[in-house]
A and B are shown apart, each in its own frame.
Chain A
Amino acid sequence: MIFLELLWSFMQIGLFSVGGGMAAMPLIQNQVVTLHGWLTLTEFTDLITIAEMTPGPIAVNSATFVGMRIAGLPGALVATAGCILPSCIIVSLLAWLYFRYQNLSIIQGVLGGLRPAVVALIASAGVSILLLALWGEGGFTMNVQDINLIALGLFAAAFAVLRIWKPSPILVMTGCGVLGGILYTLAG
């Protein structure tokens, strides 16, 4: 039964991918390419490219993509449900515990230690995206000429606008998308 197989496979991916993002990739590859042969390795690479280009968590994107290709829309729904089911159960439980016991001083202490770490992790993700935007897939080089000037200009302008006028971030991202679409098309 293909639907049960999809559900079970993506439940395992959802359950064992702790840390999110790229951590889920090898698990997805193992289930989808190695174990079940639902996608070829080339299709899997395409999937990762698409998942990177489009919004949403990579696990949800893969579930939808694989489900669609294997069993159409019902397949996509089943695979996506499977992938978020473990989160729903475990995180709901943690949410209940957190809101019940958050005032204990030991919990406050642990969370106080975690907060600066989370800021550091957000910063780390930000640096990765910025380097990707400025230097492209090739990654960081010491050569200043490799910097993508359009990307640098857009970043600087967007950052300045955010700091000064504090608009909705979605407005800024859409603006960058439109400007990027025009500038890169003209430049390319």
Chain B
Amino acid sequence: MEKKKSWKVLLQLFVSTFYISAFTFGGGYVIIPLMKKKFADELHWIDDEEMLNLAAIAQSSPGAVAVNASILVGYRVAGVVGAAISILGTVLPPLIIISVISLFYTAFRTNAIVSAVLKGMQSGVAAVVADVVCNLGGKIVKDRDILSVLVMIVAFVANYILGVNVMLIILACGVIGAVRTLFVHGKKEGAK
């Protein structure tokens, strides 16, 4: 990549992560749908499958999922410099917003208009997440891979209804994936 172009990429990376972070209400997983929309659907820097791989790694690492995911996306797009840029983009919005709020937080907390706007945004966030779940989940169902569909349903029930620890779910699904690969591999070897 030529120098001039890479500056443009870095700038776009910074602006994108800054924007996404400024709108990540509800923390954690909400950033994944937003990143998918931006980096996969809009900019085509990453495909859907890789976005989910990065999300899985972000979830299994210590620290905030949003920060971890931006490090991974930044690294994928422009190496270590990219990672540094996207950390900056992700951390700045909450840093600025909370710094300002902490100066007069009781006034903010009780302001009726602020809470009305935030309440309205909650519905918008829910709609964005629902939209991305339909896209990604629909793709998995369309692949007609019964094990994947089963993993998706069981993981949802385990996490949402039974309240099973997320790390346990990730670990179990990773093991299922590994065992399956070994099994399929073994069968192929046997067929030879």
B-contacting residues of A (Cβ < 8 Å)? 14-21, 23-24, 46, 49-61, 64-65, 68-69, 73, 76-77, 80, 83-84, 86-88, 90-92, 94-96, 98-99, 102, 105-106, 108-130, 132-133, 150-152, 154-155, 158-159, 162-163, 166, 168-170, 172-185, 188
Dominant SS among interface residues on chain A: helix
On whether A123 and B65 interact (CB within 8 A), knowing A91-B71, A181-B116, the answer reads no
Residue in B42, B60, B67, B113 with the greatest tally of chain A CB atoms within 10 Å: B67
Q: In whole angstroms, what is the CA distance A169 to B41 when docked?
A: 11
Q: Which residues of B have CB within 8 Å of A49?
A: 109
Q: Chain B nearest CB: distance from A132 CB in Å?
A: 6
Closest residue on chain A to residue B131 by CB atoms: A162
Q: Which residues of B have CB within 8 Å of A99?
A: 75-76
Q: Which residues of A have CB within 8 Å of B115?
A: 53, 184
Can you list 22 A-B pairs, Cβ within 8 angstroms, ordered by A?
A17-B63, A18-B61, A53-B118, A57-B28, A57-B65, A60-B91, A60-B95, A90-B62, A91-B71, A98-B57, A105-B181, A112-B180, A114-B52, A114-B53, A115-B148, A121-B29, A123-B129, A130-B126, A173-B124, A174-B121, A176-B125, A179-B120
Number of CB contacts from chain A to chain B under 8 A: 383
Contact of A102 among B33, B53, B55, B87 (CB under 8 A): B53
Contact A172–B63 (Cβ < 8 Å): no
Q: In whole angstroms, what is the CA distance A69 to B106 when docked?
A: 14
Contact B24–A55 (Cβ < 8 Å): yes
In the complex, given contacts A19-B165, A60-B91, A95-B57, what are 4 additional A-B residue pairs having Cβ atoms less than 8 angstroms apart?
Answer: A92-B83, A116-B140, A181-B113, A182-B116
